[in-house]
Amino acid sequence: MDSYAVVGNPIEHSKSPLIHAMFAEQTGQQLEYGTLLAPLDGFEASVREFLRSGRGVNVTVPFKEQAWALVDEHSAAAERAGAVNTIVRRADGSLLGDNTDGKGLVRDIQVNAGLSLRGLSVLLVGAGGAARGVIQPLLAAEPAHLCVINRTVSKAEELAALFVDQGPIAAAGLQWLVEPVDLIINATSASLAGDVPPIPESLIKPGHTWCYDMMYSSDETAFNRWAREQGAARCIDGLGMLVEQAAEAFYLWRGVRPDTAPVLAKLRTS
């Protein structure tokens, strides 16, 4: 039976095995999917050992950049993102690296939440790997403008420069902008610590601005709680993004695209 795994450190909290088990049952695919705890200094050895017989892996923190360096070939998305979250072992043994995070984010916003990004003003908070991984798909959705804001402005400027050929993108500091926008996406990990990026409340137009936190938890994230208190029209966490990026990986591996709606619904109620 074909085997797959999600590799990270820590990894025991991952919902990926449950998600892929539901995908496999739904599509009639025969496969095994587990977790792989890699030592912080032993990612490459762990993955290569698993892929001696395994068909592919998903990669989570803190190894996405190391995965980019490990593979033999990058998809266009991974090349731009500078990070890999999905590895496919091909028939000749070579490794293809892809990044499905951005596709997962955009699909969750546009399909699951029903918000078309075309013509919107979008604010992306954070300039780390999570932000870099989603910029190209966001710009491909044709927003009117995408602005990356970050505490260290130079990092936001570097990101904007990397993608300036992809669409209308700019950079700014966390407190530089004050006018309301249509959508704010939090790509920082602040919510994991119960914190909120120090951005102006005026960015949210009550009843109009949508807010999306790429983090998720069993409770409302700190960012979404803050956004709701400012009157945001809708607040969404990153669970749908997790499911959608997993579906993209499943399709890469198996050539079958699962229906994500019942899987996401089950996770929301469990």
Per-domain residue ranges of the chain: 2-99, 102-239
Give the pLDDT of residue 250.
Answer: 98
**Superfamily holding 2-99:** Leucine Dehydrogenase, chain A, domain 1 (3.40.50.10860)
The helix-helix angle for 16-27 and 239-254 (nearest 10°) equals 50
Which pLDDT value is given to residue 170?
98
- What is the phi/psi pair of residue 237, to 5°? -100, 180
Residue ranges of alpha helices (H) inside 62-173 are: 64-70, 76-81, 101-107, 129-140, 153-162
Is pLDDT at 129 greater than 90 in this prediction? Answer: no
Q: Class assignment of domain 102-239?
A: alpha beta
Instruction: Quickly state the pLDDT bin for 192 (edges 50, 70, 90).
Output: confident
190 in Cβ contact with 222 (< 8 Å): yes
**Known binder of ligand: residue 15?**
yes
Q: Which helix (H) or strand (E) holds 24?
A: helix 16-27
Q: Is there a binding annotation on residue 164? A: no
pLDDT, tens digit, 9 for 90 and up, residues 17-62: 999 999 999 999 999 999 999 999 999 999 999 999 999 999 998 9
Confidence band, pLDDT 50/70/90 cuts, at residue 207:
very high
Question: Does residue 103 carry a catalytic annotation?
Answer: no
Which run of H or E residues covers position 228? helix 222-229
Average pLDDT over residues 140-147: 98
> Binding residue per annotation — 216?
yes
User: Same fold for the domain at 2-99 and the one at 102-239?
Assistant: yes
> Is 153 known to sit in a ligand binding site?
yes
Catalytic annotation, pick one of 64, 103, 205, 266: 64
pLDDT value, residue 234: 98
* pLDDT single digits (tens) 94-123: 999 999 999 999 999 999 999 999 999 999
Average pLDDT over residues 173-189: 96
